[in-house]
């Protein structure tokens, strides 16, 4: 973050705001093709393990999705500009006004990101069906 190159930061509190219920994913992801079924079934299987101690019951935080959202729609959330934080070895950060300015997202439009995911799964599943019909 010292280079001065264009950087967009999505803090952990924004990543963790991508919450969705498992029942919503069951209705909006699982029915749509091999990919949708795989994604949902893997998530549910993991959610039942001891490694999923951090999940919140019947919900999931799709933490990597905010980065996808801002990649396809940069104004997919609110943001401000500020000097890049100085990240210490212990991963805490320190404010230093002399550092290069970066874009820091304050929020993300989670509905936009989720609806885009659902639409893309449906489109892909329809193409799977179309390809199967063409082969027959």
Closest CA to 15 of 77, 55, 65: 65
Residue 133 has pLDDT above 60, yes or no: no
Q: Is residue 3 part of a domain?
A: no
Question: pLDDT tens digits for 79-114?
Answer: 999 999 888 899 888 888 999 999 999 999 999 999
CATH number of the domain that residue 93 is part of: 3.90.245.10
Confidence tier at 132 by pLDDT (50, 70, 90): low
* pLDDT score recorded for residue 134: 56
Q: Is residue 97 part of a domain?
A: yes
Q: Is residue 1 part of a domain?
A: no
Q: Is residue 77 part of a domain?
A: yes
Q: For 53, phi and psi rounded to 5 degrees? A: -60, -25
Give residue 82's domain range: 8-135
* β-pair partners for 20: 60
- The domain total for the chain is 1
CA distances from 89 to 13, 86, 96, 117 (A): 20, 10, 16, 36
Residue 73 has pLDDT above 70, yes or no: yes
């Amino acid at each position: 973050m010292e280079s001065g190159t264009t950087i967009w930061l999505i803090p952990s509190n924004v990543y963790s705001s991508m919450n969705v219920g498992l029942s919503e994913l069951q209705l909006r992801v699982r029915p749509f093709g091999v990919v949708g079924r795989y994604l949902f079934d893997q998530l549910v299987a993991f959610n039942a393990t001891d490694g999923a101690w951090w999940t919140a019951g019947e919900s999931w935080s799709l933490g990597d999705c905010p980065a996808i959202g801002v990649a396809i729609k940069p104004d997919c959330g609110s943001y401000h500009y500020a000097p890049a934080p100085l990240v210490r070895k212990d991963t805490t950060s320190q404010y230093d006004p002399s550092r290069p300015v970066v874009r820091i997202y304050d929020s993300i439009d989670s509905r936009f990101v989720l609806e885009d995911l659902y639409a893309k799964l449906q489109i892909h599943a329809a193409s799977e069906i179309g390809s199967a019909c063409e082969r027959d």
